[in-house]
């Protein structure tokens, strides 16, 4: 039980520092700002991680672990609407639970000029079957869907409306990918 609590604390620390790195970039994020973000002194933060670089690497690794978990859960699904929906559901859940980690992972897409943001951790080619470098319509739609997810999950977290917003976030992302919405029992095709 103590190990689980410690893991939760570590993940919370890494999520918060990841948010700082995502917002300001590695070079412009001070150790004091990171400590303030997690509510610790610099010495207290350094007790958990020996340096800013170690914090950054640990946050990126936790993000990579989250992405691999999503990939493991969809690996058996063929590329297409059902897989996209499941990927979006899983990524939305991660984003609602760990917004800082997701923001750091998305920084590779939103701030490609920052060399510290480059990471294969988001696993976009594997998750969505898309090459972002190709600049295809599909690649643009994937970036748009993930951008919408990032903004909406952050807003849902700030509003304290994670559960209420979740289905709308997923629907918005699916719309962005160009997938039709399924009909509900109370809707009739028109």
Residue whose token pair is 């859960």: 73
pLDDT of residue 187: 43
* Inter-residue contact 96 to 55 (CB < 8 Å): no
In a domain, 182, yes or no: no
Q: What distance in Å separates the CA atoms of residue 61 and residue 141, rounded to the nearest whole number?
A: 26
Confidence label for 185 from pLDDT (cuts 50, 70 and 90): very low
In a domain, 190, yes or no: no
In a domain, 186, yes or no: no
Look at the chain and report how many structural domains it folds into.
1
Q: Note the helical H segments in 98-136.
A: 99-110, 124-128
Between 94 and 2, the higher pLDDT residue: 94
In a domain, 187, yes or no: no
For residue 128, give the CATH number of its domain. Answer: 1.10.357.10
In a domain, 184, yes or no: no
Range of the domain at 110: 2-177
> Residue 92, class by beta-carbon neighbours within 10 Å (0-12 exposed, 13-18 middle, 19+ buried)?
buried
Tens of pLDDT, residues 129-181: 988 777 899 989 998 998 899 899 989 999 999 999 999 999 999 999 999 77
In a domain, 81, yes or no: yes
pLDDT of residue 186: 46
* Inter-residue contact 166 to 92 (CB < 8 Å): yes
What 3-state class would DSSP assign to 122? Answer: coil
Residue 24 predicted with pLDDT over 50: yes
Q: What tokens were used for 118?
A: 């480059």
Tens of pLDDT, residues 51-96: 999 999 999 888 888 889 999 999 999 999 999 999 999 999 999 9
pLDDT of residue 71: 94
* Inter-residue contact 55 to 14 (CB < 8 Å): yes
> Residue 36, class by beta-carbon neighbours within 10 Å (0-12 exposed, 13-18 middle, 19+ buried)?
middle
């Amino acid at each position: 039980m103590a190990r689980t609590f410690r893991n939760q604390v570590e993940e919370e620390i890494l999520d918060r520092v990841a948010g700082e790195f995502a917002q300001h970039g590695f070079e412009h994020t001070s150790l004091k700002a990171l400590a303030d973000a997690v509510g610790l002194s610099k010495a207290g933060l350094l007790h958990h991680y020996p340096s800013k670089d170690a914090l950054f690497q640990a946050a990126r690794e936790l993000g990579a672990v989250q992405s691999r978990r999503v990939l493991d859960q969809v690996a058996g699904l063929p590329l297409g609407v059902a897989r996209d929906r499941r990927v979006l559901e899983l990524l939305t859940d991660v984003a609602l639970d760990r917004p800082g980690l997701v923001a750091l992972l998305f920084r590779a897409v939103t701030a490609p000029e920052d060399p510290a943001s480059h990471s294969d951790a988001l696993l976009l080619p594997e998750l969505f079957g898309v090459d972002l470098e190709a600049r295809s319509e599909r690649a643009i739609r994937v970036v748009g869907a993930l951008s919408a997810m990032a903004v909406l999950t952050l807003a849902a977290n700030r509003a304290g409306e994670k559960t209420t917003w979740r289905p709308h976030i997923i629907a918005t992302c699916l719309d962005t990918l160009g997938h039709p919405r399924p009909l509900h029992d109370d809707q009739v095709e028109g």
